[in-house]
Amino acid sequence: MRTYIANGWKSVKDQFYVIIILFLYQLLWGYFLYRLVESAVVPLLMRYPDPPPNQLSQALYYIEAQMGLSENSTVHAYLWILLGIGVFRMLLTPFIQAGILYGLQQEYKGLRGLFFFQGMRRYGKSIFIFHIVEWILLAAPAYWLLPRLYHVLISGLQSQLLFLNGVPYVVAWLLYGYIVHQLLLYMQFGKISGSGMVSSLWIGICNSLPIIGISICLE
């Protein structure tokens, strides 16, 4: 496992220009999202009762917030902006990932060069299809989970301890999403390398324990 991590850091050093691109991408995204949330959420929080509310004032605050979310045109505009940049990020991410994976594959062959943009151009559409499949698989449990989480949310307005009832659902959903993401990631490696998606998927399954260990170490 230590060897794999060392090789990974070596790849990072060899493709440092990609790190700069990704840093700027995440920085701009994070700053824009922060400013958007700050301008929308802070005014709402300023209306939270002070001193600490009793049950009646807290319930009135939640009712007022719910009415504001449903009737305020400014809130709707923020939601549309958030949806728009979210869709843009979802469309751009597969092409960025295609460039990264292609660069790693060329490095594995011993080649050096600016392969990031070549990978985006050659494999961006293919990786985009993988992401569509991943989104569908991740959204599939929502049909069963969201009604239960909504019930937990409504119950939690009366007692915050009831929010804990939703933790197992969220953890199970996150674990399911992690497994789906890792399996499809190895299939993407197989697609770009030309070694075959099934064989790459099997390699990922056989090496699942080291993969999980490396993921935990990097987290």
Last residue of a domain, one of 91, 121, 151: 121
**Do 115 and 183 lie in a common domain?**
no
**Do 94 and 5 lie in a common domain?**
yes
**Do 82 and 171 lie in a common domain?**
no
Distance CA 100, CA 59 (A): 49
Distance CA 57, CA 17 (A): 53
pLDDT at residue 100, rounded to an integer: 87
Bond preceding residue 51 cis, omega within 30 of 0: yes
Q: How many domains does the chain have?
A: 2
Q: What is the pLDDT along the chain (219 residues), one digit of tens a residue?
A: 666 666 666 766 767 778 888 888 889 888 888 888 777 777 766 766 666 656 666 667 667 666 666 666 676 777 788 888 889 989 999 999 998 888 888 877 777 777 888 889 999 999 999 999 999 999 998 888 888 877 777 766 566 666 677 788 888 989 999 889 888 988 898 888 887 888 888 888 887 777 777 676 655
Contact 157, 107 (CB under 8 A): no
Write out the residue range of the structural domain in which residue 78 sits: 1-121
**Do 102 and 150 lie in a common domain?**
no
Element counts in the chain: helices (H) and strands (E): 9, 0
How many Å from the N-terminal Cα to the C-terminal Cα in the chain? 15
Last residue of a domain, one of 121, 156, 178: 121
**Do 110 and 30 lie in a common domain?**
yes
In a domain, 52, yes or no: yes
pLDDT at residue 197, rounded to an integer: 85
Last residue of a domain, one of 86, 121, 156: 121
In a domain, 130, yes or no: no
pLDDT at residue 94, rounded to an integer: 92
**Do 178 and 100 lie in a common domain?**
no
Collect all residues with Cβ–Cβ distance below 8 Å to 116 and sequence separation of at least 6: 15, 17, 18, 21, 99, 100, 102, 103
Look at the pTM and tell me if it is higher than 0.85. Answer: no
**Do 9 and 111 lie in a common domain?**
yes
Indicate the SS3 state at residue 88.
helix
What DSSP line would sit under 151-214, residue for residue? HHHHHHTT-GGGGGGGHHHHHHHHHHHHHHHHHHHHHHHHHHHTS-HHHHHHHHHHTHHHHHHH
- CB burial readout 68-100, b (16+ within 10 A) else e: eeeeeeeeeebeeeeeeeeeeeeeeebbbbbbb
In a domain, 132, yes or no: no
Measure Cα distances from 1 to 7, 189, 215 in Å.
10, 19, 11
**Do 112 and 155 lie in a common domain?**
no
**Do 63 and 28 lie in a common domain?**
yes
**Do 24 and 116 lie in a common domain?**
yes
In a domain, 134, yes or no: no
